[in-house]
Structure 1
Amino acid sequence: MKRARWSQEDGTGIEHLVMNVSAKGIVIESAVVGESDAQTFGLVYRIECDARWQVTRLALKLAGGAALDLHRDEHNNTWRDAAGTPLDALSGCIDVDLTATPFTNTLPIRRLALARGERRVIRVAYVRVPELAVSAAEQAYTCIEPGRRYRYEGLDTGFTAEITVDADGLVLDYPGLFKRIV
């Protein structure tokens, strides 16, 4: 079991995460108290992955508010909501990206296992918090130093950042956004 804690760089939020890795897969549970665009929120989330770091489930709940439960069928790479309704807009997405946490960068970093200088474009299920609005987004990851530094690019937004990670792929520093404190 691995634990991590991050603070928002502006000091308005904190996250506590627990990650369990086994031969059967990976389960991540976390609690975030944060702020986005001057809107405060409390969020708990759970991400389940298969042993290859491919997301199979994402469940989120806002304190006193909305919830979201998404499932990905590993065989045909389709997403469904809790009611079983297909989410065609997320077709082709394997990873998820939650705006409230640096953790979701770990998913493609671990799954892709990039070599130095290698760049991969991916499509992710992008979740804006606290709105819990879901859409597909194009992103790219480039390995600068294997197991240590990666360049993230939001291809839809033009945002880029150089992310430093630990040996488990957990973010240590996401400049301007998050800093690992434990």
Structure 2
Amino acid sequence: MPKSIFWSRTDTAGSEHVLLDDGNGLAARGTLLAVDPIPWTARYQVTTAPDWSTTRVEVEAEGPGWLRRVTLERATGRWRVTTAEQGDLDAALVAAGHPRAGLPGTDDPDRLADALDVDLSRSPLFNALPFHRLGMATQAADMPRRIIVAWVLLPGLEVVAAEQIYTGLGPGRVRFASGTFTADIDVDADGYVVRYPGLAERIDPR
């Protein structure tokens, strides 16, 4: 992988490091660490088509006493979702005073039929996928683009269909909105997050 990006979480103790090749679409593998709602580590791999529509994502999340995996593959316009689980994440969450997680994956992949992108929650990398696919770098400002994504929730790896809106705000800035949440994200010339308010900031090597 010829490129590397590192983000430090600003909402909690944690980080993300990704190695990637974006010469023809995207191929990337990364690791996320966080202590909220309980300490966990997630490792992922993502592959897109040349137009940056997502074709495959694998995620493994792990913490003390539990491990979960989910794989999403898109072919012929449909998603296939497979999962595996060891240990008891819910027991760890309840012991720490948090609600139980949803089951990993989805009971109906057809709910994801309109999704061309996968979004891994709390990962700055995955904002680059719709940014490239929608051609945000060349779009006029203040033109909202509404999409449906397959949203993978960490640490439980439940997969749900979610509506998101991306709006260009001029060079180097994009507004992201989903439900009642809105953030103005700073991105570099290649569409990768530099600063995501309330989530993460990129740390560049000196």
TM-score normalised over the length of structure 1: 0.90
Q: Note the alpha carbon deviations across 1:29-61, whole angstroms, 9 max, x for none.
A: 10111133x311101001100110010001001
Query: What is aligned with 2:128?
Result: 106
Residue 59 in structure 1 maps to residue 62 in structure 2: no
RMSD in angstroms over aligned alpha carbons? 1.6
Pair 138,71 (structure 1): closer, same or farther in 2 beyond 3 Å: same
Between 52-61 and 108-117, the greater mean CA deviation after superposition? 108-117
> How far apart, in 2, do the equivalents of 1:97 and 1:177 lie?
15
Q: Note the alpha carbon deviations across 1:71-93, whole angstroms, 9 max, x for none.
A: 011x3x2100248x971111110
Query: What is aligned with 2:47?
Result: 48
More helix by share: 2
Q: Do the aligned partners of 2:12 and 2:35 also contact (CA within 8 Å) in 1?
A: no
| Overall identity of the aligned pairs, in % | 35
Query: One-letter code of the match for 1:140?
Result: I
Between 130-139 and 107-116, the greater mean CA deviation after superposition? 107-116
Q: Do the aligned partners of 1:43 and 1:61 also contact (CA within 8 Å) in 2?
A: yes
Query: What is aligned with 1:129?
Result: 154
Query: What is aligned with 2:95?
Result: none
Which one of 94, 112, 117 corresponds to residue 116 of structure 2? 94
Q: Which has the larger radius of gyration?
A: 2
Query: One-letter code of the match for 1:117?
Result: D
Residue 143 in structure 1 maps to residue 144 in structure 2: no
Q: Which runs of 5+ in 1 are unaligned?
A: none
Query: What is aligned with 2:197?
Result: 175
More strand by share: 1
Alignment of 1:23-38 (within 5 A): 23=24, 25-36=25-36, 38=37
Q: Do the aligned partners of 1:79 and 1:87 also contact (CA within 8 Å) in 2?
A: yes
Q: Do the aligned partners of 1:163 and 1:171 also contact (CA within 8 Å) in 2?
A: yes
Query: One-letter code of the match for 1:33?
Result: L
Alignment length, in residue pairs?
A: 174
Structure 1 counterpart SS, 2:127: helix
Query: One-letter code of the match for 2:49?
Result: D
Q: Do the aligned partners of 1:78 and 1:86 also contact (CA within 8 Å) in 2?
A: no
> How far apart, in 1, do the equivalents of 2:11 and 2:135 lie?
31
Question: Structure 1 residue 165: deviation in Å?
Answer: 0.5
> How far apart, in 2, do the equivalents of 1:111 and 1:92 lie?
14
